[in-house]
Amino acid sequence: MTDRQPQSRTIMVVGGGIAGVTAAIEAAEAGYDVVMVEKSPTLGGRVAQMNRYFPKLCHPTCGLEINYQRIKKSKRISLFTLSTVAAVKGSAGAYTVTVKSEPRFVKPNCTACGDCAAVAETELPDPFNYGMKTVKAAWLPHTMAFPMRYVVAPEVAKTPEGERIKAACKIGAIDLDDKGDTFDLEVGAIVWATGWKPYPAANLTAYRWSDIPDVITNVEMERLASPDGPTKGRIVRPSDGAVPRKVALIQCAGSRDLNHLAYCSRICCLASMKHAAYVREQVAEAEVDVYYIDLRAHDKLESFMRRLQADPQVRFVKSKPARIERGESGGPVVCGENTLTRQVYAEPYDLVVLATGMQASVEGDGRLAGAYDDYGFVFTEGDSIGAGVASGPLDVSMSVQSATAAACKAIQLVSGQVVSGVRGQE
C-alpha cells in the first residue's frame, strides 16, 4: 500500500463541539486513541447554547447526554479543556503538537456543589449567554457542562476573593497556584473541529444592533428561548421585559453580502423559521414577519417551511431590509422595499431578530490546518481534515455526518492507508 508507516496511531481532535465530540467518539469506538483539545472549560460548544435543534427540534441536552455517556464509557479518549493548539510540527503520521492549557484553578475532585460560587462576589459577562447575563467569578459554564467542574476566573484567583472562594470549598478542590501548562503530544492525524462564531452584528451598522436594545441576533434568540437562559425560556423584549406581539426576523444579516460574509451561511433560514415557531408557541396572538432574499430550506426540512407558510400569523416578505430606525417609542422600525409589490415600507416591531451568519472561529495565526478555502474554512484534502462548521456552514445533523467522515479520514491516515494525502495505490 504505502512505503511509509505512520509513527503514531493517535488521533487529535481540536474542538469539543458536536463535530469534535462525534469525530472523537467515532474514532475511539473504532479502536483508536484520541486526544481532544477544547478551548473553553467544557464540551458542547455552540449546540449546548441552543434551545432546540433540527431536524427533530430536540433539546441539546438529549444529543449531548448520549455523546457524554459514550465518552465516559470509552477508555481511549483523553480530554484537555481550556486548551488550544499553539503549534504543529511534522507531517501526517508523525505530528508533534504543542498544546497550551489555561489554568482552571479547580481540580478534578470538584463535585460541582456550588459552595465556591456562593461566596464569589465579582460578576463577569457570561459567555455562554452571549453576555446577556453575568456569572459569578467561580462558576459552572452551563448545566450540561462536561467535565462537570467549576471554573475560577483568573481575574480573582490572586485576590482575597480568591482566598475566600478557596476557603469555601469543603473538599479542597480549589488550586489557586494553577499556572496552566504547555506540553507536546505526538499524534498521527489532526481533525480540526474548531467550529464557528456568529458574524459580529455590530458590523451591520444599518441594522442598529448596537444601539437599539430590541434588535437582537439569532444566537441571542436561542438563549432567550432556552429554559436555562437569562429569562428562563421566556421570549421577551430586552428593553422592558414585555412580551413581543410583533416580531421581525431578518435573513442574510451579513451573509451573501460582499461587504460582510460573501457566502450563504445555509442554516439561518431554517433557524429563523424555528424562531418563528418559538414565538408562535409562546405568544398566541404574536405576528411574525420573515424578511428574506431567497428561502433555503436545506436538507429534508422543506416541510417545516411549508408548515410555517400555512400559518396566517407568519408572513414571508421578499425583501432585504435596507435599514432599521428608532421609532418614536424607541423601538425598532424596519425599512425597505417589498420586491414583489414594489412597496416601500417602514414597519414598527416589538422585537427584531437578525439572522447573522456563521464565520470560521479560528483566524490569523490560529489557522494551523493544512489548507483553508477563500472564506477561512478548513479545506479537507489529503492530511488537512476539517469536521463540522470548521469546514463550512452546516447544521447539527450535517456536522455529525461531516465529523464521522473526518474520523474515517483520520483513521485512514494513522492506519497507513493514506500518507500525506497520497491515496495508497500500487
Interaction of residue 347 with another protein, rule CB under 8 A: no
| CB nearer another protein, residue 130 or residue 209 | 209
144: three-class secondary structure by DSSP:
coil
Interaction of residue 272 with another protein, rule CB under 8 A: no
Q: How far is the CB of 346 from another protein (least distance, A)?
A: 10
What's the Cα-to-Cα distance from 299 to each of 62, 77, 182, 265, 400, rounded to whole Å? 22, 32, 42, 14, 14
Interaction of residue 335 with another protein, rule CB under 8 A: yes
Show contacts with another protein in window 198-227 (CB under 8 A): 206
Q: How far is the CB of 308 from another protein (least distance, A)?
A: 21
Interaction of residue 252 with another protein, rule CB under 8 A: yes
Q: How far is the CB of 322 from another protein (least distance, A)?
A: 3
Q: How far is the CB of 340 from another protein (least distance, A)?
A: 9
Please state the length of the chain: 426
What's the Cα-to-Cα distance from 342 to each of 61, 207, 286, 316, 348, rounded to whole Å? 45, 21, 26, 15, 19
Q: How far is the CB of 16 from another protein (least distance, A)?
A: 34
| CB nearer another protein, residue 66 or residue 322 | 322
Interaction of residue 258 with another protein, rule CB under 8 A: yes
Q: How far is the CB of 319 from another protein (least distance, A)?
A: 5
Tell me the angle at which helices 18-29 and 60-73 cross, rounded to the nearest 10 degrees.
30
**Contact string 293-322 vs another protein (x = CB under 8 A):** xx-----------------------xxxxx
With CB under 8 A as the contact rule, the residue among 202, 242, 344, 422 that binds another protein is 344
Smallest CA-to-CA distance from 78 within 143, 10, 22, 17 is with 10
Interaction of residue 336 with another protein, rule CB under 8 A: yes
Q: How far is the CB of 326 from another protein (least distance, A)?
A: 17
With CB under 8 A as the contact rule, the residue among 52, 70, 256, 315 that binds another protein is 256
| CB nearer another protein, residue 319 or residue 402 | 319
CB atoms inside a 10 Å sphere around CB 69: 11
Q: Which residue is it, cell 433540527?
A: 54
Partnered with residue 287 across adjacent β-strands are 246
Smallest CA-to-CA distance from 150 within 50, 99, 82 is with 82
Q: Residue 88: which residues within 8 A CB-CB, separation 6 or more? A: 95, 96, 97, 98, 190, 368
Asked if residues 209 and 215 have their Cβ atoms less than 8 Å apart, the reply is yes
Smallest CA-to-CA distance from 412 within 402, 423, 403 is with 423
Interface stretch with another protein, choices 68-76, 150-158, 176-184, 330-338 (CB under 8 A): 330-338
For residue 22, the number of C-alpha atoms closer than 13 Å in the C-beta half-sphere is: 26
Show contacts with another protein in window 366-425 (CB under 8 A): none
Interaction of residue 175 with another protein, rule CB under 8 A: no
| CB nearer another protein, residue 298 or residue 318 | 318
Q: How far is the CB of 344 from another protein (least distance, A)?
A: 5
d(Cα 313, Cα 245) in Å, to the nearest integer?
11
Binding site for another protein (CB under 8 A): 206, 252, 256-260, 293-294, 318-323, 335-339, 342, 344
